[in-house]
Each structure stands twice: as C-alpha cells, then as structure tokens.
Structure 1
Amino acid sequence: MAQITGILLAAGASRRFGGDKLSYRLPNGSAVAEQACRNLAQAVDRLVAVVRPGANGVTAMLEAAGARVIVCEDADNGMGASLACAVAASADAEAWLVALADMPWIAP
C-alpha cells in the first residue's frame, strides 16, 4: 500500500477575509486550520503543513494537531510555491493528498 502524505496549505495571507481566518473559532471551539488539519490527518499516513513566515500561532496550532510544519519563504508567490515547498519537504512520499487549511468541513 502506498504511503500517502497529506499536504495542508496554510500559507495564505487571508487578505479577503480581513484577518487571521485560520485561527477563527468554529462553533465546536476548534480553530479553522486546526479542524482541517485533524480531518486530513485521519486520511493520510503523515502530514505536512505549509505556513508563511511569521505565522507562529498557526505553526504552534498545527504542530499540536500533529502536523510537521514547513515555513515557505516564497509564500507570497502563491499556492504553487507553497505546494512546491511541501513536495520538496516530503519527496520520499509515494503519493500526496492536498487540502486547504481554510476548509474545515472536508470530512476525512
């Protein structure tokens, strides 16, 4: 069976949201990114989350939820740059499953 690495993309700037949407609390008390991370973790063998530089709070939250966190220095170049950072950091994976940290309702 293939070893599947989950990639959680969490390096966006939340410009349209107007604030830190990944830390926004859901009705169940979990933060948006925390819930997305936990859901993805249930579906993969290991998990890599990509954050932007300076996202210390999100980094701590995702590490506590079980992710290996990678800081993408090129996050301002877009989602493709974040995806490339994650793939490079998990190049030994046999397959990847990509999810977005601002989509907490995607079930495992």
Structure 2
Amino acid sequence: MADLKEELSETMYCILLSLQEERHGYGIIQHVTDFTAGYVQLGAGTVYTSLKKLERAGWIDRTRTEDRRHYYVLTERGTQALDDQTRRIARLHAYGKGIA
C-alpha cells in the first residue's frame, strides 16, 4: 500500500469528498463541479490518475464495474484521511482569520 502526502491537493481532497458515496469517474467530475459551484472543474485525465493513486494508497476501493464505468467508494483509511485533511484545512482557515 503506497502512502500519499499528508497534505492533499485540492483535486484529491474534492475527490475524497465526492466518494463519501459510491460514484464513477464522470459522476465525480459532475458532483465536484456541483458542490463547488463550478469553482473546481476536474478533467477526466486528472480524475482517473488520482483514482489510481488513491486506490493504490488504500483510500478508496473499486466496488463494481458496469458498462465500462468503474465505481469507487472511500475505505475506512480514506475516511480517516478525509477527516484529517478537513481538520488541517479548518486549522489553516482559523490561522488566517486570526491574522486578518
């Protein structure tokens, strides 16, 4: 199992957020665009490369394949990583508010 950096890119973080429910690659792209109100727009190549990395790290599992679409969901390890990243981002936000 490969380890990912402690600090995830915005792309990886959004993918993890999206995979709290089972989704396929294109579904992830649509969901991220929706929940970020278009601020984050993921390309297919980026998503599929990221999914491979996240799967190798044990943070997501492929659940099924239908009509050439691979579906994924967070693992327990991925849920913990998402929680850790969310806390890290909240701390950074608090630091910024304290300075402003």
Normalised-by-shorter TM-score class = 0.3 to 0.5
Higher helix proportion (structure 1 or 2)? 2
Higher RCO (C-alpha under 8 Å, 6+ residues apart):
1
TM-score (norm 1): 0.32
Question: Is the strand fraction higher in 1 or 2?
Answer: 1
Larger CA Rg, structure 1 vs 2? 2
Question: TM-score normalized by structure 2?
Answer: 0.34
